[in-house]
Each structure stands twice: as C-alpha cells, then as structure tokens.
A and B are shown apart, each in its own frame.
Chain A
Amino acid sequence: MSNYDSAKVAKIHHHLHSHLPSEPALRVKALESLLVEKGLVNSQTIDAWVEAYSEEIGPKRGARVVAKAWTDPAFKARLMDDGTAAIDELDFVGNATAHLKAVENTGSVHNLVVCTLCSCYPFALLGVAPNWYKTAAYRSRAVRDPRGVLQEFGVNIADDIEVRVWDNTAELRYLVVPQRPAGTEGLDEEALTGLVTRNAMIGTDRKFSATATGTS
C-alpha cells in the first residue's frame, strides 16, 4: 500500500535521478518493460490508447461542440448552463470532463485557460494538450502577462477588452467558446466545425479565418 510521505518520495526521486538513464525514451521504456513483466500494462493496449488519442479523441470534438453552440441557440444555452450535460449529448464526456464549464468570448471579453500548478486539461474533449500549454513559460506568464502571451500567439487584445484568465486549480475544466467569425452565416455545423481551432478553445486564438481549416 501507499503511504503519503513526501520525504520518502523525495528520496525515491533522488535515487531515480541517479539510476535511470538520462534519455526520456529509455526512461519510459524502462517503466513500460517493468510494468509489462509484472502484468500491469500490456504493450498492445498502450498502442490502442495512442491510436485512440491520435485518431478519435481530440480537438475535433471540442470544435463540434462550439459549432453546435453557434448554430443551435438552445444547445448553447444548455452548454453555458451545464457544460458536462451538454457535451454528454454528443457522448464526449470522459477523462477530465465531468465538471466542464464553458466560458464565452464576446466583443468586450476574452477568456484564456491555464493550469499554473500542473497541466490540467479537458482530455476527452480536446485530446492531449499541446506542448506549449505544459511549458513553464506559459504556466508562469498566462496569469500575470496574458496580453503579452496572447501577442506571442499573434493575438492583440484591445485595451477596452477585458481579459479573464481561468486557472484550473480544481477538477473543473474550462472550454472557451469563441465568437463565430463574420462571413460564416451560410455555413452549416459541419463546415463550422472545420473552422474552430484548438487554440481558440483554450483562448490563445481569437479572430480566426472564416475559410481556413481549423483543427484536425
């Protein structure tokens, strides 16, 4: 059984620092080999999970939720009221999405999501988090210099727009609902899904193109 002793774990980390190979690929391989030998993981199953999160579970799900919110006012109302119940209608509830909150961008508000303490992310809805989301640079600066961070993504926020930063300190996960781009009035839900970028749903994209392909 586990104990919950910080000092003991600090010692374990110290030993691992000395005894594990330096190369990340070799460290992960060492872990996989031991767990396979002990019957705790299966390598084919690992393959299946890689494929699941490469092909099926990813930002396209979130994009579809946003596109549906743009085209179906009743769905949007349900999404804003109870994000988890709304995405459950599309069977998108799963890992880290049982407490989903949708936050909406408007002409006067821009939302940005971060996890300063680890890298919490709504996996079942947006897939594996991008690297930048997990970096010290993003985690340290998104709360303190959100406008500067957004500029690095090519997003300039006018002074009269309020920036709201959502730090994922609990098990709630946040989905930014971006504004529907101008000139998309004739597009249906499927076409709109193709426009929504992953970054727009985290808040590091704001005014994306009405024609470019969004997330894949």
Chain B
Amino acid sequence: MDGPHDLGGKEGFGPVVTDEADTPFHHDWEGRMWGISRSGAGAPGVTIDWWRHVRELIDPVDYLTRPYFDSWAQTELATYINAGVITLDEVRSGHSATQKDREARVQSVAEAIAQDASQGTDFSRIIDAAPALKVGDHVRTLEFTQQHHTRLPGYARGKPGLIHAHHGAHIFPDESAKGHEMGQHLYSVVFDAKNLWPEAGDKRDRVYLDLWESYLEPL
C-alpha cells in the first residue's frame, strides 16, 4: 500500500538524531512492549507480513509522530481485536470481560534466551518453478502495485536494475499478508543511485533491494 510507512526517499524529516544513550530501551514501557511482543502468544492467524500491514494501516499522523514501540502496542492490540481475542469494550474498560482459559508461560531469562535461539525462522521454501531470472540479468520493477501489503517500495518502482544474487524461493509477503503461504523466487537487485534519485549525479553509489520475481520484468 502507498502508506506513510513507505519512507524511502521522502524529504523533510530533518537530520538524524545520532546521540542517544547506548541502551536497548530508553523507557520502561519500551522494554515492556518488547517483552510482550517476544513472549506473547500472538493473535491467531497472524503472519509477520499481516502484522506489518496492520502497522502500516495506523493513521498516518500517528504513524509519523508517535514513538516506535508505541506503534507496536497499537499494532499488537489491533491484531488481537481483529482476531476477536480482545474487544473494543474491553479496551475501553481496561479489563477482560471473560475468565482466562489458559495460563501464560512463565519463563526465566535462560528460557527466554533459549526460545530466542529457536526463533530463527526460515522463510525459504522449495518450489517447483525454476527461477525466471539469473545473476547479471537486466530487469525493470513494476510501475504499480496492489493496495494491500507489498514489499516493493515506492522509490524503486518502474526502475531499471540488475540481478545481483538469487536467494532461492522465499515466502511471498503480498500473499502471506493475506494468510496464504506460497514460495516465490527472491533476488537481490542492485540499482544505480542515479537511476533512483535525480541529484545522485555521477556518483557510483548503489542501492540493493531484495525483491520477489513477480515484482520484476526482464529488460
């Protein structure tokens, strides 16, 4: 979707604030949100791509102005509400209207670390189709994409690039965000900065994106 999340190349956001405390969390609530996200059961049917799409759907003003982990809280809540696990009335009252029918896991730090180690999710898939493109092929990205979730950023649409690497097939996010798992060939595509940005001039700089086969057409 062409939402506020698609930030690559947008202008007007000012300098990057580079001096910050070298700690993972700057407020207690950020740590709480991280812990909820990492330890929570998650709403049924949520894929990583649907979760990203739900975050993209936050009102643009909120998306651009509220703190990062705050958007995680709203996304998490929205996925639970959408799945019918939490109701808006419960959000309003601040309490669950039903008795709990399960107990959440109690984990020690060591168990959390072990669980993290088991969460290196493999997104690659074996598919029958042979890759239609190979390293060195010239390609052009799609000019338009769909309204739902996609991982082809606006700044890289309709642009010429070169296949830099083939990663095999990975879960296709545009379908995964609708609950369908299918593999599709994934490539690293390199773009000359001067083909993306008018001011890049004669610089040799390059931008690399990982893009699925259906985002690309051979040139």
Are the CB atoms of B24 and A58 closer together than 8 Å?
A: yes
Find A57's partner among B22, B64, B116, B124 (CB 8 Å cutoff): B116
Find A48's partner among B1, B57, B111 (CB 8 Å cutoff): B111
Are the CB atoms of A46 and B54 closer together than 8 Å?
A: no
Are the CB atoms of A37 and B120 closer together than 8 Å?
A: no
**B35 contacts the other chain (Cβ, under 8 Å)?**
yes
**B128 contacts the other chain (Cβ, under 8 Å)?**
no
In the complex, 27 of the A-B residue pairs with CB atoms within 8 angstroms, ordered by the A residue number, are A1-B84, A2-B50, A2-B179, A12-B81, A13-B58, A24-B67, A32-B32, A33-B94, A34-B94, A35-B80, A38-B85, A46-B39, A48-B109, A94-B117, A98-B121, A99-B122, A116-B153, A132-B17, A154-B18, A165-B208, A169-B153, A169-B211, A170-B167, A170-B186, A171-B123, A171-B170, A171-B171
Find B20's partner among A114, A131, A143 (CB 8 Å cutoff): A131
**B131 contacts the other chain (Cβ, under 8 Å)?**
no
Chain A 14-25 near chain B by CB (<8 Å), digits 1 or 0: 111101100011
**For B210, what are the chain A residues with a Cβ–Cβ distance below 8 Å?**
167-170, 172
Interface-centre pick from B24, B76, B92 (highest chain A CB count, 10 A) = B24
**For A168, what are the chain B residues with a Cβ–Cβ distance below 8 Å?**
210
**A206 contacts the other chain (Cβ, under 8 Å)?**
no
Q: Which of B56-84 contact A (CB under 8 A)?
A: 57-59, 62, 64, 66-70, 73-74, 76-84
Chain B 80-102 near chain A by CB (<8 Å), digits 1 or 0: 11111110101110111010111
In this complex, how many residues of chain B approach chain A with their Cβ under 8 Å: the count is 125
**For A139, what are the chain B residues with a Cβ–Cβ distance below 8 Å?**
7-8
Are the CB atoms of A19 and B91 closer together than 8 Å?
A: yes
Distance A164 CA – B188 CA, assembled complex (angstroms):
13
Sort chain A's interface into a size bin: 35 or more
Are the CB atoms of A146 and B205 closer together than 8 Å?
A: yes
Min Cβ gap B26→A in Å is 7
Q: Which of A94-143 contact B (CB under 8 A)?
A: 94-99, 114, 116-119, 123-124, 127-128, 130-132, 134-141, 143
Find A36's partner among B10, B22, B104, B153 (CB 8 Å cutoff): B104
Distance A13 CA – B58 CA, assembled complex (angstroms):
6
Distance A95 CA – B39 CA, assembled complex (angstroms):
12
**For B73, what are the chain A residues with a Cβ–Cβ distance below 8 Å?**
24, 27-28, 31
**For A166, what are the chain B residues with a Cβ–Cβ distance below 8 Å?**
208
Are the CB atoms of B119 and A94 closer together than 8 Å?
A: yes
Binds B, one of A3-11, A67-75, A183-191: A3-11
Are the CB atoms of B102 and A45 closer together than 8 Å?
A: no
Are the CB atoms of B31 and A54 closer together than 8 Å?
A: yes
With A29-B29, A116-B153, A118-B55 in contact, do A39 and B103 touch (Cβ < 8 Å)? yes
Are the CB atoms of B120 and A124 closer together than 8 Å?
A: yes
Chain B 22-49 near chain A by CB (<8 Å), digits 1 or 0: 1111111101111110111101111010
**A30 contacts the other chain (Cβ, under 8 Å)?**
yes
Contacts A52-B109, A162-B204 known; 7 new A-B pairs at CB < 8 A: A4-B177, A4-B179, A19-B88, A27-B70, A28-B32, A49-B38, A170-B211
Distance A24 CA – B41 CA, assembled complex (angstroms):
22
Interface-centre pick from B100, B103, B151, B205 (highest chain A CB count, 10 A) = B205
Min Cβ gap B31→A in Å is 4
**B138 contacts the other chain (Cβ, under 8 Å)?**
no
Are the CB atoms of A45 and B68 closer together than 8 Å?
A: no
